[in-house]
Structures are given as structure tokens and as C-alpha cells.
Amino acid sequence: MDEKCIGIIGMGDMGKMYARRLSDAGWRINGCDRPESYEALKKEFAGRGRVNIMQNGHLVSRCSDYIIYNVPAKNIDDVVAQFGPSTKMGAIVGGQTSCKAPEIAAFEKHLPQDVEIVSCHSLHGPGVDPRGQPLVLIKHRASDESFALVEKMLSCFGSKFVYLSASDHDHITADTQAVTHAAFLSMGAAWRANAQFPWEVPRYVGGIENVKINLTLRIYSNKWHVYAGLAMLNPSARRQIGQYAESVTALFKLMLAGQREELSRRVKEAGEAVFGNARWKGRGGEDEGLLLKDELLDRFSLGELPQERVRNNHLSLLAMVDCWWKLGIVPYDHMICSTPLFRLWLGIAESLFRKPELLDEAIETAIEDNTFRADDLEFTFAARDWSERVTLGNDEAYRRKFEAISEYFAPRFEEATRVGNEMIKAILEKTH
Ligand SMILES: NC(=O)C1=CN([C@@H]2O[C@H](COP(=O)(O)OP(=O)(O)OC[C@H]3O[C@@H](n4cnc5c(N)ncnc54)[C@H](OP(=O)(O)O)[C@@H]3O)[C@@H](O)[C@H]2O)C=CC1
Ligand SMILES: O=C(O)C(=O)Cc1ccc(O)cc1
């Protein structure tokens, strides 16, 4: 094994996952987090001879050949300003934050000129098996030889390398991640506002409802800064999230006004733009759709399955497809650079839009069934409120809302994470 060693600054969920997997593959790791976490980290990694926990980023930077910053995106400028000038001469530096514009700006501003820059981004959470998942590599300022070294180091993840520029990365992840999270964050906010635990409400149990609940709880059980960073620091994300809020509002107004034809026309036009023309077909014409079957999804309920499936107007999904249409996004074009969560979300949107009888039922329910109005009203408020908080770019306003909702759902996180992991595994196996 090459004696080059890897530095990891930020040993939180992702940093630890990187340290474990890279050291298992034989690389020597120098890792640090904040000084106050030194003792605990040292204890946690005591059994791993190849992981050397250090007190701070200066110590890591001066002796590592490839240094990966695994800190919250909002802190990247401060952390690189602090440790970047200590980087070993001729080393390579990269970041694993979810949004590349601030990361690259920080590197350009604070790193010495002799330091090369190769960034990366694992498009999955710390609990997901990285094999086969996309791993973005960004050769920003590096020789072919240095880039090949980073590829060699990261190849032990077994992920699919996706080669992008920093700005293409941010465009794509705004289209996929940021707007998908907006939908799930809004569902959680609406359920809490209505004092509902969705697994106790028959309309939210079974089939595609299970995906909505499990993924919403998955997001709220994670760290707020991951979603805040992705939404507020990505230059493209605000527009996307704003459009989602506009689509929700426009469709809800049509539902309230009972404008069946207008609603049906708009939903179907959006569906045609996104799913028409057999967009899910691969180049060889084979079916590459994600279509998720109710029977499969039914297995992953947090609540009791009702005797009979209860109708839903699926405002969150109708608005997602409307939003993709208005923004000219063809989600299949981004599959190569997608997270499991995005693929599941697209999968349930597809399940609704590729089954005409189900889509007609959703439209019919939207117009005729007013028992949904309270839920939809709160959902519309929630989508608009999240969008406003993102536009204002206020970390504190984002954190407070996120944490209040997170607290509300916390008692079910353990079970939701377990069921969600099984669901993701089963579905990804099926759709590979
Ligand atoms: N979680 C996910 O699913 C994914 C996250 N990412 C990205 O990876 C990065 C890390 O996320 P994640 O691991 O989930 O978050 P965590 O909060 O678990 O980890 C970040 C760590 O960085 C530490 N840190 C902050 N400032 C410093 C500093 N000055 N010196 C050393 N350490 C510092 C934090 O300490 P403290 O908590 O005390 O501030 C924390 O332990 C983020 O940019 C995120 O966007 C990318 C892919 C997936
Ligand atoms: O799959 C998702 O969207 C997640 O929620 C996990 C996640 C969060 C941040 C990333 O940068 C990548 C993946």
C-alpha cells in the first residue's frame, strides 16, 4: 500500500465514515474535530491503529498528502482560513461539503498556491452502503497524477465516480436534493402543525405514503446544518425551492376553487413534460423506470395498514412534478448524480403519474374531498415558510424551525431509521 496518508478535518458522521472505510482499505488517516472532541474521538478510534486522532487541523494539515474537509458547509470559510495555510507543501486538498461554491471559494482564498484542489461529494448519508452510489469528483486545480491518486484513495468505497465541475455539481444538486428536501421538510412541518403523527392516520399508511413518512423522519433525524447549507449556500437552490412553494400554492388554489378542468389540464401537462415521451426508457429502449409497487412499499409501514387503501390527493407530488415542469427539469437526466432519497421520491412521483387511474383519482380527490383541506392548508403554509427562510438566508431561523419539528418526531426516529434503511435497501436492490 502507498504510504501517502489522508487527513480528515471534521470527524462527524461523514468524517468518521470516511475514516473507517479508508483505514479498512489500508490507508493511514490523520483525523481531527474540534479540540473539545479530541479525547472522545481518541477513545472511539483507539482500536484502529491506522487512524491517528490529532488535536487540531494544523497538525492534520502539515503531515497529510490529501486533506478532506468534512465540516458543515456554513463553517467552511472559517475552518479553511484557520488551517489552510498550514497545508503541507504540494499536498492536495478537497472538501466533502454538499455545496461547492463556498468550498471552492474558501480554497482559492486561503490555500497556498502550491496546494492542489480536488473536491468530492458522496451522494448518500453516512448509514448507506456506498457501493454503487454516485461519488462526485471535482478536479479543480490539480495535475492528472494528483487526480489519479485521489481516485485511487477513494476507489475503496466502490462508488460510481461522477466527474463534474463545481458549478455543474451545484446546479444538479439544487435540482435534485434541495427541492426534494423542501417537499419532505414541508410534510413534517404540516404534520406537526396539525398535531398529527402520520403513522396514526390511515390516509398516510401504506404504499407511497410509507415513503413520505420514512424519508421525512429520516431528514429530521439528521443534522439541520446539512439541509440548511445545501439550500442556502447553493446559488441555484433558492429559485428551485421558491418554485416548489409557488407550485404548491397554485395547485392548492385550484383545488380550493374547485377548478377541476384547469387542475387536470395543468397536472397532465406537467406530467407529459416530465414523464411523457417515454423519458424513463434507456437508450436501448429498455424500461429503466423506478416504478415502485405498492406491495413492496406496504412492507415498510410505521403504522397499521388500513383494510382498504385510503385516497389522497398527493398535493406534495403533484406540486413536485409541476415544479420540475416549470423549471424545465427532466429528473431522469440527473440520475447519474442522484441520492437514494431523490430516486425514491422520483419513484413515487412516477408511480402516481404513470398510472392514469391513480392520477385521475388524486385529481378527483383534490376537488371533491374537503377532508384534506386542513392538511393541505398547513402544507402550503409550510412550503412557503421554508422557502422564505431559505431566501432570507438566516441560519438561526432555519435551525429553530428544523429542531422544533425534529423534537416532535424524535420518539420514532430509531424505528423510522431502521424501517427506512430496510426500505431503501429493498428498493435500491429492486431498481438497480
Ligand atoms: N450527513 C449527510 O448525509 C451528508 C453530509 N455531507 C456533508 O458533509 C459535511 C459533514 O456533514 P456531517 O458529517 O453529516 O455533519 P456533522 O455535524 O456530523 O460533522 C461535522 C463535524 O465538523 C466539526 N467541525 C466544525 N467546525 C470544526 C473545526 N473548526 N475544526 C474541526 N472540526 C470542526 C463539527 O463539530 P461541531 O458539531 O462541534 O460543530 C462536527 O463534528 C457537511 O458539509 C455535509 O453537508 C455530504 C454528504 C452526506
Ligand atoms: O439523500 C439525501 O438527500 C440525504 O438526505 C442524505 C444526503 C444529505 C446531504 C448530502 O450532501 C448527500 C446526501
Question: For residue 360, is pLDDT > 90?
Answer: yes
The minimum-distance atom of ligand 2 relative to the CA of 123 is 12
Q: What is the reported pTM?
A: 0.93
Pocket test for ligand 1, best of 9, 13, 110, 121 (most atoms within 8 A of CB): 13
Residue 9 has pLDDT above 90, yes or no: yes
Nearest ligand (C-alpha, residue 338): 2
For 57-76, give the DSSP string.
HHHHHHH-SEEEE-S-GGGH
Show Cβ contacts of residue 400 under 8 Å, excluding neighbours closer than 6 positions: none
Instruction: Give the strand pairing for 5-9 and 28-32.
Output: parallel
Beta strand pairing call for 116-122 and 28-32: unpaired
Q: Which of 18, 21, 33, 124 to mutate to test the pocket of ligand 1 (most atoms within 8 A of CB)?
A: 33
Distance 319 CA to ligand 1 centre (A): 32
CA of 171 to the centre of ligand 1 (A): 22
Residues 6+ apart with CB under 8 A from 62: 86, 87, 88
The verdict on the CB of residue 177 being under 6 Å from ligand 2 is yes
Q: Is 219 in the pocket of ligand 2 (CB under 6 A)?
A: yes
Query: Strands, DSSP E only, in 246-290?
Result: none
Range of lowest pLDDT (36-40, 100-104, 279-283, 366-370): 279-283
Which residue minimizes the CA distance to atom 23 of ligand 1? 10
The values of phi and psi at residue 280, to 5°, are -80, -5
From the list 103, 404, 400, the residue with the least C-alpha distance to 228 is: 400
Pick the atom of ligand 1 nearest to 32's CA: 31
* % of the chain at pLDDT higher than 70: 93
pLDDT in tens, 127-141: 889 999 999 999 999
Distance 256 CA to ligand 2 centre (A): 34
Spell out the domains of the chain, with CATH numbers in brackets: 5-164 (3.40.50.720), 170-428 (no CATH)
Atom number in ligand 1 closest to CA 124: 48
What is the 177 CA–ligand 2 centroid distance (Å)? 7
pLDDT tens readout for residues 102-132: 999 999 999 999 999 999 999 999 988 999 9
Pocket test for ligand 2, best of 339, 425, 427 (most atoms within 8 A of CB): 339
66-69 and 92-95 beta bridge pairing:
parallel
Give residue ranges with CB within 6 A of ligand 1: 9-10, 12-15, 32-34, 57, 70-73, 75, 79, 96-98, 122, 125-126, 222-223, 226, 229
User: If you measure from the C-alpha of residue 342 to the centroid of ligand 2, how many angstroms do you get, rounded to a whole number?
Assistant: 9
CA 198 / ligand 1 centre spacing (Å): 30
Answer with the residue of higher pLDDT: 285 or 268: 268
pLDDT in the model for residue 430: 64
In tens, the pLDDT along 192-236 reads: 999 988 888 777 777 788 888 989 999 999 999 999 999 999 988
Q: Identify whether the C-beta of residue 423 lies closer than 8 Å to the C-beta of residue 300.
A: yes
Place of cell 474540534: 34
Cell of 149: 491518486
